Amino acid sequence: MRTRTTPARRLPALAAAAAALLLAGCSGGGGAGGGDGPAPSVSRGSAVSAQRCAQNEAAGTITYVTGYRFQSSVSILDPVAAEALGYFDALCLDVEIQPGSGETAQNAQLVAAGTAQLSSIAGASDVLVNVANGVDVTAVALFGHVPVATLLTGPEVTDLRRLEGTTLGHKGALPVTIEAMLRSAGVDLATVEQVQVGYDPTVLVRGQVQSLTGYKSNEPLTLRELGEEVTEWNPEDHGIPGSIATTIVNPGFLAEHPTAVQDFLRAQLRAYAHCEQHAAECVGYAAELSQAGYDIEHEQRVWETETALVGSSQPAGQPLGAIDAATVRAEAEFLLGMGQIDAVPDVDALVAEDVVAGLYEDGELVWPAP
């Protein structure tokens, strides 16, 4: 039983050189850090007791669906790296990583149906909307505590109210955090023409739209790489709540195989720390899986931008990946006020705070597993 990664149906295994980069030193407990580099190869189950190994193997193949393909985003690159570094194998986990399409509803439905056991989803708001629509999933981890959406304009826009009477481009719907920001800034949205545009952000600098919604780790990077000057308008500067990279799990699977879920996240968090120190190495693993057309330099900037957002928004005293009901409840109240959901769900039932909390001791990730 080896960890494997599959696009569409099934991708070839990582190249031999990548596969050889196995588990960083597992003797001694302590932090999530990956050290200065991978340690020599170790055998399967080297970071877990025989009893826990058997429990994890009893879970069978764990299918994890990424948020969007093999983009080097938080909660995508770190599980990919956990595979390549041998962390899943060291914990006796048989993991199959499948690339998501970017449709959060689809990911949530796959998990609820048990077709996948775990998945990345954009943020807590996406979880809440899906739950409000009757999708039964449990949120077990959350990485960033800031909205990932941004609104781009040219530098000539110095006040959002100057967007009245102009054209705003989006990917199919105006993100709720952007709508809330515009309303809080006093923009009369009835005067703003909203149009659906494709995924080419140069429509902004070509003047086809005067503002463009995007993600902090994508469109602004692309435009600046082209030498274009743009201004980012961010919802958090207007007190708008949001989050980045939430992990959801099938509730039945969590109840039946709690150690497998916990150790999946343990391996992911250890890989996250390794990739913070070795970004180019980890992006190389994702590039191998994506095969052709992967812009390694751009994807490394995606990873560095998102990890910076995670780090800068981390609540004091809260370990990486921890999810708490209060944060999710605040987003639920926001969505209720914006008319995105009809009622605040039972957040305490929706959120399993203890899964990630149980991975840490004195603020340090426990490795090997207890």
11 and 140 belong to one structural domain: yes
187 and 232 belong to one structural domain: yes
70 and 24 belong to one structural domain: yes
Domain boundary among the residues 182, 217, 238 is at 238
Please indicate, yes or no, if residue 58 is contained in any of the structural domains.
yes
Of residues 34 and 244, which shows the higher confidence score? 244
> Is the confidence at residue 70, as pLDDT, over 50?
yes
259 and 361 belong to one structural domain: yes
**Segment 107-154, tens digit of pLDDT:** 999 999 999 999 999 899 999 999 999 999 999 999 999 999 999 999
pLDDT (mean) for 269-298: 95
253 and 341 belong to one structural domain: yes
Domain boundary among the residues 217, 238, 259 is at 238
Q: For the ranges 1-5, 16-20, 129-133, 331-335, which has the lowest average pLDDT?
A: 16-20
**Sorting pLDDT into bands at 50, 70 and 90, what band is 363?**
very high
Domain boundary among the residues 238, 263, 295 is at 238
Q: What is the mean pLDDT of the chain?
A: 90
**Sorting pLDDT into bands at 50, 70 and 90, what band is 19?**
very low
Please indicate, yes or no, if residue 370 is contained in any of the structural domains.
no
**Segment 178-201, tens digit of pLDDT:** 999 999 999 999 999 999 998 899
Please indicate, yes or no, if residue 60 is contained in any of the structural domains.
yes
pLDDT (mean) for 93-115: 96
pLDDT (mean) for 69-98: 97
Structural domain including 32 reads 4-146+243-365
Domain containing residue 234: CATH number: 3.40.190.10
The whole-number pLDDT of residue 36 equals: 45
159 and 126 belong to one structural domain: no
> Is the confidence at residue 10, as pLDDT, over 80?
no
The whole-number pLDDT of residue 198 equals: 85
pLDDT (mean) for 147-166: 97
133 and 33 belong to one structural domain: yes
The whole-number pLDDT of residue 42 equals: 54
Q: What percent of the chain has pLDDT over 90?
A: 85
Beta bridge partners of 169: 195, 212
